[in-house]
A and B are shown apart, each in its own frame.
Chain A
Amino acid sequence: MAEHEPTLRRVTVAVFVCALAFPFVASGYHLYQGAQVLILAIALLGLNLLTGFNGQISLGHGAFFAIGGYGAAILVAKLGLPYWLAIPVASLVCFGAGFLFGFPALRFGGLYLALATFALAVATPQILSYKGFDAYTGGSQGVSLAKPHAPFGLNLNGDQWLFLFCLLWAAALYWAATNLARGRIGRALIAIRDQPIAAETMGVNAALYKTTCFGVSALYAGVAGGLSAVAVGFVSPDSFGLSLSLSFLVGIVVGGLASLGGVLFGALFIEFVPNIADQLSVNFGESAKALPGAIYGVLLILIMAVAPSGVAGAIQAAIRFLARGARA
């Protein structure tokens, strides 16, 4: 692993530079899709910290995504905050929500946490459209907000600026996640996942780490939700259902559990598979609607059976194989 680190850094920088150039070669809808990929990647980073590194199963991260999205939308549309301020504020709310949810989560073993978060995911759309919150959430209508323009008189159109804005967030959060995962904290998280009792014996405060990890993970999802609200210009209860939470799970499994770079593959996957299925439905009618679910389901099982480390693991294995070939 260590010997690949300079390579990894070079690849990361290369990807970042390519992404920086992207808004100046692509336009319109492709830029919007690109921004969506970055947003999903941020959410996957958070979920992977929690599930991949810390071993806590969340089937309900769509709920934190929703809190971030609704939080940002309400702050912008009802309270008049600028969007760049609304996103961090909403994500802090998410951190709080995640931390609080992490408390009971401590007492549940892995399975119970999966149950509780599954319940959270199923109930989220209903809670969001609850009549009592209508004044803020707009009920089943949702909330719309205006799309932002480039600041400082930069010569960028709205789509270009949005992409770059998402890229900045994604890069910063990726950097933060790698630092978290690499050092003392990351080792503690992994130790809690693999050997909880040994970790506690070594003086790791498992309760604190687990709740904080849940909070940080929710914060990531919240940033992603907030960015999504700004990018789409609209939030409504139906977009935060169980399928969103499950697609996050698919994303980290495809990208590779406990792989931070892998989230990019996961995000590309869950952004484009439903898209392609939509295009196919023009030719094949309604039955194409079943395609993403079928692909997701089959891949989840296949990856767990054949390549539990996902795309990132496969690439690592390939690099190792090539390196060995070059040395021989």
Chain B
Amino acid sequence: MNEFLHQLASGLALGGVYAIMALALVMIYQATQLVNFAQGEMAMFSTYFAWKLMDSGWPYWRAFAATVLVSFVGGVVIERVVVRPFAKAPVLASVIVFIGLALIFNALAGWLYGYSVTSFDTPFSGRSWFGNVYMSAHESGAVVVSLCVLAFVYAFFRFTPLGLAMRAAAQNPVSSRLVGIRVGWMLAIGWGLAAAIGAVAGMMAAPIVYLDPNMMFGILLYAFAGAVLGGIDNPFGAVFGGFVVGVLGNLLGAYVVGAEVKLSVALAIIIGVLVWRPSGLFGRRLVARV
């Protein structure tokens, strides 16, 4: 029983990471109907950036803030320079461009920081919180940070004029343009936010999975699974899905299939959902006009 609760708790911690990754994916999907395959590698690169800052003596939270900020700017720049020219291209071209971006970030990280596996600091060291014996301090911290990110994103989109403008631009670009919203910039900011959120996910994941250029493949895969499960056009669904696949992956990995094939669980979830309920648990059914 103890072991079970332990797996459940660490599944929740990973689930928090998947949830914010999935949220980043959904943010771009809602605006462009595209899934950013480079999201994981961008997050990995941000995490390396944070590591480099800390390595040169910055305290954790200062490095954290700087990384989030730089990732935001980086995301905006990538949208403006690389993604924008393909705005009207077919899906295939966009997917190829995203894969290209992913390859570039992966190579860049390997070139700048090397391929060896590195440990990554956590700000939540020491004893576990509130006598919670099932979670390490970092796992508890990661859950809290994920919840903070979710609250921040919710508040941003719900209560700020910029958030409202971004929702409008995603939902109805033409009308939004008519009322004076700069739709192109809203998209770029969306990319920036997604990159910043991804950076947080990477920094929360790195102490658990260790830092190396390929660390985000598995996490991105689980985030995909979470987003597909919850409904890729629904932020709440995606977050819920992220937590569910985190717990499910851990439990199935521990008790059913074995931890070595944990990634197959994500594969099975993705295919299962697409076969039985393509719009996910909370997604809108897609109806196209002929």
Contact = CB atoms under 8 A, between A and B. Distances in A.
Given A127-B261, A294-B108, A108 B35 contact: no
A299 B101 CA distance: 10
Contacts of B270: 115-116, 119
B95 A293 contact: no
Contacts of A301: 82, 97, 100-101, 104
Contacts of A242: 217
A197 interface: yes
A39 B102 CA distance: 26
A109 to B, nearest CB: 8
A118 B89 CA distance: 21
B30 to A, nearest CB: 13
A290 B111 contact: yes
Contacts of A111: 33-35, 91, 95
Using C-beta atoms within 8 Å of the partner chain, give the interface range for chain A. Answer: 35 or more
Contact of A126 (B105, B115, B263): B263
Interface stretch (A20-28, A51-59, A167-175): A51-59
B224 A115 contact: yes
B35 A114 contact: yes
Interface residues on B, range: 35 or more
Interface in B249-269: 258, 260-264, 266-267
Which of B35, B105, B107: most chain A Cβ within 10 A? B107
Contacts of A127: 261, 264
B89 A59 contact: no
B114 A300 contact: no
Given A123-B267, A242-B217, A108 B99 contact: no
B96 A249 contact: yes
Interface in B183-227: 217-218, 221, 224-225
A51 B92 contact: yes
Contacts of A116: 267, 270-271, 274
B173 interface: no
B96 A304 contact: yes
A42 to B, nearest CB: 21
A130 interface: yes
B154 interface: no
B91 A289 contact: no
Nearest to A119: B267
B104 A298 contact: yes
Interface in B265-286: 266-267, 270-271, 274-275, 278
B4 interface: no
B56 to A, nearest CB: 20
Contacts of A299: 100
Contacts of A55: 90, 92
Interface in A82-112: 104, 107-112
A296 B228 CA distance: 28
A294 B264 CA distance: 28
B61 interface: no
B92 A293 contact: no
Contacts of B221: 118-119, 122-123
A320 interface: no
Contacts of B225: 119
B96 A126 contact: no
Interface string B104-124: 111110110011000000000
Contacts of B275: 104, 107
B110 A298 contact: no
B103 interface: yes
A155 interface: no
A186 interface: no
Given A107-B274, A287-B110, A293 B103 contact: yes
Given A116-B270, A126-B264, A300-B100, 13 more contacts: A108-B278, A109-B91, A110-B91, A116-B271, A118-B221, A119-B267, A123-B264, A130-B264, A290-B108, A291-B107, A297-B103, A297-B107, A304-B86
Interface of B: 33-35, 37, 82, 85-86, 89-93, 95-97, 99-108, 110-111, 114-115, 217-218, 221, 224-225, 228, 258, 260-264, 266-267, 270-271, 274-275, 278, 290
16 contacts: A109-B91, A114-B91, A114-B95, A122-B218, A127-B264, A246-B103, A249-B96, A290-B110, A291-B107, A294-B107, A297-B104, A297-B107, A301-B101, A304-B86, A304-B93, A305-B86
